[in-house]
Amino acid sequence: MKVDISVADPRRGGRAQRLCWFAGTSDALVEAAARLQLRLPAVAGAPPLLLRDADGDLVPLSAALPSGASFALVLPERAEGAESVGSENTSARLRLTRDEAEETERGVGEEGEAPEVEDPRKRPRTSLNNARRVAGEVANAPAIPASAASAAAVARTPAPAPPLKLLRVQSVASVVTQFLNVFTQAIGNDDNVSFIPNTGRFALYALYTALVADQGLHPASQDTFYKMTSMQGKVDRQRANRFYRHRHASGGVEVVQYRPQGKGPLLRKYVPAESSDAERELTLRAGALAPLLDQSPASLVDQYVAFVRGFEPISKAEYRSNK
């Protein structure tokens, strides 16, 4: 019996990689094959591969995973606890190195006792032979290890932190890029209807603010958001008007016309999610974005499906016939 799963790789924009093996294969062999297919280094002592399931839980990659399930790859540096453990180990190593350096600086004297400094006025004159002997002793004296001295200097000098504004801009840009990769897709050359509006109830910015609750991940303004999205693909330079049919929860239907703003609508369309298979694929794609928003992939997709429900782009001729 063959077992197969889908793993979304955040390094590839959440695109899925199919992994398969036969029942009875050992966990070690499954993980080794997965590292090879996912292009992860097989380093001795490397932490086990972790996956995030549709519920947002972390599970290890093993042969016991259910066939047909979808997961998102969790990179080692993003695994929970990895950063804190690494920081503790680094701090411990720096403390140990600093103590060794201080011990070396104190010399051979008793512990905690500072070396005595001889008064140069009381120092007797030495002969030429004595001078040579003293010079030889100094030359043969053990030097402070360069690695210990360097590590001690690094430990005493904290690295300058990057500006908070720069960190915020980088995080917002990363979230916006992954948001576009998950919930939008390229539009066909023969499709002149399915464009995403940049104004109105179903605008791209309206979807972003509905899914991203953290205000710290919102761009400074709506115009800033559309400038960021225009860098990820082409926009409609003709600024053509777009037409849509809205189906309300009460059962009513209306046709609307949205005039473009700014540079015009992005030449992409919303990812379809009408079937269970489409929702499953979308959940897999959202595996890399959901942790950035402190949500599970399934919850994120449910909100997306609820947002686009009742949204239907139409042609200009159909709009005129229904007015």
Tens digit of each residue's pLDDT (9 = 90 or more) over 3-14:
888 888 887 767
Q: Which of 103-117, 181-195, 251-265 has the lowest mean pLDDT?
A: 103-117
**Is the domain of 316 the same as that of 179?**
yes
DSSP letters for 94-139? HHHHHHHHHHHHHTTS-TTPPPP---GGGPPP--HHHHHHHHHHHH
pLDDT, tens digit (0-9, with 9 covering 90-100), for 19-45 = 888 877 888 888 888 888 888 877 666
Residue 306 lies in a domain: yes
Residue closest to 304 by CA, chosen among 204, 197, 232, 177 = 204
Average pLDDT over the chain, rounded to an integer: 73
Instruction: Kindly tell me if the per-residue pLDDT of 163 is higher than 60.
Output: no
Residue 114 lies in a domain: no
Instruction: Kindly tell me if the per-residue pLDDT of 49 is higher than 80.
Output: yes
Give Cα 266 to chain centroid, integer Å: 24
Q: In what order do the strands lie in the sheet with 311-314?
A: 253-258, 242-247, 311-314
Choose one of 15, 39, 74: the last residue of a domain.
74
Q: Residue 99 — pLDDT band, cuts 50, 70, 90?
A: low
Beta carbons of 182 and 282 less than 8 angstroms apart: yes
Instruction: Kindly tell me if the per-residue pLDDT of 119 is higher than 90.
Output: no
One-letter amino acid for residue 175 of the chain: V
For residues 156-183, average pLDDT: 67
Pairing of strands 70-74, 184-186: unpaired
Instruction: Kindly tell me if the per-residue pLDDT of 249 is higher than 90.
Output: no
Residue 98 lies in a domain: no
pLDDT, tens digit (0-9, with 9 covering 90-100), for 294-304 = 899 999 999 99
For residues 179-190, average pLDDT: 87
pLDDT of residue 315: 87
Q: Residue 80 — pLDDT band, cuts 50, 70, 90?
A: very low
Instruction: Kindly tell me if the per-residue pLDDT of 258 is higher than 60.
Output: yes
Residue 55 lies in a domain: yes
Q: Taking the model in full, what pTM does it have?
A: 0.51
CATH number at residue 60: 3.10.20.90
pLDDT of residue 145: 55
For residues 140-144, average pLDDT: 53
Give Cα 5 to chain centroid, integer Å: 22
**Is the domain of 315 the same as that of 194?**
yes
How far is the C-alpha of 303 from the C-alpha of 212, rounded, in Å?
11
How far is the C-alpha of 3 from the C-alpha of 65, rounded, in Å?
8
Q: Which of 44-48, 65-69, 95-99, 238-242 has the lowest mean pLDDT?
A: 95-99
pLDDT of residue 266: 73
Pairing of strands 242-247, 70-74: unpaired
* DSSP 3-state of 142: coil
**Is the domain of 180 the same as that of 62?**
no
Choose one of 74, 89, 118: the last residue of a domain.
74
Q: How far is CA 17 from CA 6, 37, 73, 100, in A?
A: 6, 8, 10, 48
pLDDT of residue 299: 93
Instruction: Kindly tell me if the per-residue pLDDT of 306 is higher than 80.
Output: yes
Residue 37 lies in a domain: yes
How far is the C-alpha of 213 from the C-alpha of 180, rounded, in Å?
16
* DSSP 3-state of 51: strand
Instruction: Kindly tell me if the per-residue pLDDT of 140 is higher than 80.
Output: no
Residue 298 lies in a domain: yes
**Is the domain of 70 the same as that of 179?**
no
Residue closest to 287 by CA, chosen among 6, 3, 33 = 6
Higher pLDDT pick, 260 / 184: 184
Higher pLDDT pick, 162 / 173: 173
- Work out how many domains the chain is built from and give that number: 2
pLDDT winner (highest mean) among 95-99, 170-174, 177-181: 177-181
Residue 278 lies in a domain: yes
**Is the domain of 44 the same as that of 179?**
no
Burial bucket for residue 318 (CB in 10 Å: 0-12, 13-18, 19+): middle
pLDDT of residue 2: 79
Beta carbons of 73 and 49 less than 8 angstroms apart: yes
Residue 131 lies in a domain: no
Choose one of 74, 95, 111: the last residue of a domain.
74
Q: Which two tokens stand for residue 100?
A: 């060794």
What is the residue range of 221's domain? 172-322
How far is the C-alpha of 30 from the C-alpha of 33, rounded, in Å?
5
pLDDT of residue 22: 83
